[in-house]
Amino acid sequence: MNGQELRDVVIRALTEVAPDVDPATIEADADLTEQLDIDSMDFLNIIVAIHEQTGIEIPERDYPKLSTLNDAIAYLDEAQMKGASSASSAGGSSG
């Protein structure tokens, strides 16, 4: 996924959990929990929704790395790259 697709995934997850949010009003560098007025359970639900849409595992220790829209996109982009490189190096031959 490219950056725009990752952004769309995060926005979709945000609006699933907080349907009253207008995606156009989300500030890319502002803390999501503050600007969306969501609690830790809502944030966890956003993380779960992102995982379901991308297949990217997000360990609990990394949750703070997804605190803003831009941070979340950067994290997912990096995780996707790491996943692609480890998948290709873990390929091995079966013959």
- Check residue 9 and give its pLDDT: 96
- Check residue 83 and give its pLDDT: 77
What distance in Å separates the CA atoms of residue 14 and residue 28, rounded to the nearest whole number? 13
What are the CB-based long-range contacts (under 8 Å, 24+) for 47-56? Answer: 49/12, 49/13, 49/16, 49/17, 50/9, 50/10, 50/13, 50/76, 53/9, 53/12, 53/13, 54/1, 54/6, 54/9, 54/80, 56/80, 56/83
Going from the first residue of the chain to its last (95 residues), give the mean pLDDT of each consecutive group of 10, the final group possibly shorter: 93 93 94 93 96 95 96 96 67 49
**Domains, the chain:** 3-86 (1.10.1200.10)
- Check residue 86 and give its pLDDT: 65
- Check residue 94 and give its pLDDT: 47
- Check residue 93 and give its pLDDT: 47
- Check residue 88 and give its pLDDT: 55
